[in-house]
Amino acid sequence: MQILIAKDGKVVYDKSFGTQDKNSSKKVKWTDLYDVASVTKVTATLPLLMLAVGENKINLEQTLGEIDAAAKNSNKSNLKIREVLAHQAGLKPWIGFYNETVNVKNARLYLDYYSRKQDAEHQIKVTDNIFVITTIKDTIYEDIYKSALGRKSYEYSDLGYYIFKKKLEQDYQKDLNQLTQDKFYQTLGMYRTAYNPKDKFELEEIIPTEYDKTYRNQLVHGFVHDQGAAMMGGIAGHAGLFSNSIDLAKLMQMYLNGGEYGDEVYLKPEIIKEFTKQQYSGNHRGAGFDKIISSLSKGPSAESFGHTGFTGTMVWADPKYNIVYIFLSNRVNVGVEPNNLSIKKVRENIRQVIYDAILP
């Protein structure tokens, strides 16, 4: 794992631990890249959405039907962007898009969908030796539009981020990978952050995630762990980003600085405040960001915000105490279940140690 802590804009703790893989003796370096999973939401999609709000391309009170013509003809039409970002819209938590394309008992891919070589029909690269039919993206969106809605109470869901990706890429006429590089990462000095990292980095610099026994039937290494993101070609709104602790700290510090970093202005401070505040009573979410509602007297403040990722990651920022905390691991390398990282609250307990150290 990599753990980084910054206080008042200065890095005060930055260490790497352990080996890259459970079967490897290769030590983790600070330069190594992790699949950050759902941390992608707050480090790729959300900065772009905040930028789009600042440029009056969207606003949080708009509905999905207003930003996506296909959603307009579905039961998602009247869902507000704010509700979707706060996971308050009744969307299904998850759809196993890959399930209909593979025999999950033995991870045998159905030839109707896949090829071992890239060809005119199979353009989307899932791994080096698996290519999915190009029309699968249309099927994924169709499944989202046709999915049932629940009642409007808090339930975490990835689905809205597929629609946000579509909207952002249409507005800016670039994919999320290029957009994030152009608008944020390059000028922030986040040179070790990217989708599909094998296109830019050596494999030995990328931390292996999991041996996938249900879908790809191989060690997922240099490709996104999330199946839905993999079927989108590795570039998705909810997952797919690879990064290291120092790069993510730069982005989170930019949020703390009110949208500024170095000599550059990226976002408007009032928009960051709007996205990072609690959106609905009884719901511990901002507009996309995770929050803490009942703050301990000696712990993260109510203004603090961040996100976790399924692979074993966390980013957190606290404006009250000017703290940035980054935790990156590949906990799924040992196995998806049991999720001892969450059960034992490892990330949260380390975060509490920070506050114990700085608060009287």
pLDDT digit string (tens) for the chain, length 360 residues: 999 999 999 999 999 999 999 999 999 999 999 999 999 999 999 999 999 999 999 999 999 999 999 999 999 999 999 999 999 999 999 999 999 999 978 889 999 999 999 999 999 999 999 999 999 999 999 999 999 999 999 999 999 999 999 999 999 999 999 999 999 999 999 999 999 999 999 999 999 999 999 999 999 999 999 999 999 999 999 999 999 999 999 999 999 999 999 999 999 999 999 999 999 999 999 999 999 976 667 899 999 999 999 999 999 999 999 999 999 999 999 999 999 999 999 999 999 999 999 988
Q: Where are the alpha helices (DSSP H) in 257-360?
A: 269-276, 340-343, 346-358
Q: List, in sequence order, every residue forming a beta bridge with 212; answer none if it has no partner.
A: 218
Residue 99 belongs to domain spanning: 2-358
Rounded to two decimals, the pTM is 0.97
How many domains in the chain?
1
pLDDT at 296: 66
Residue 300 in tokens = 């993260």
Using CA atoms, how far apart are residues 80 and 59, in angstroms rounded to an integer? 9
Question: DSSP H helical segments within 152-226, as ranges?
Answer: 159-172, 176-180, 186-188
Helices (H), the chain: 39-40, 46-54, 64-67, 69-72, 81-85, 136-146, 159-172, 176-180, 186-188, 227-231, 245-256, 269-276, 340-343, 346-358
* Sequence-separated (6 or more) residues with CB below 8 Å from residue 87: 154, 155, 156, 157, 283, 285
pLDDT at 105: 83
Residue that is written with structure tokens 């996971």 in the block = 87
User: Which CATH number is 312's domain given?
Assistant: 3.40.710.10
Residue where the block lists tokens 């490897």: 24
Q: Which residues pair with 317 in a beta bridge?
A: 305, 324
Name residue 4's beta-bridge partners.
14, 326
Token pair 């928009």 in the structure block, residue: 271
Cα(224)–Cα(210) distance, integer angstroms: 10
Q: Which amino acid is at 171?
A: D
Q: Is 37 left (phi over 0), alpha (psi -120 to 50) or beta?
A: left
Close Cβ partners of 244 (under 8 Å, ≥ 6 residues apart) = 2, 30, 31, 32, 33, 34, 192, 193, 328
Residue 107: predicted pLDDT: 86
DSSP 264: E
Is 275 exposed, middle or buried (CB count within 10 Å of its CB: 0-12, 13-18, 19+)? buried
What per-residue confidence (pLDDT) applies to 294? 65
Q: What is the per-residue pLDDT for 295?
A: 60
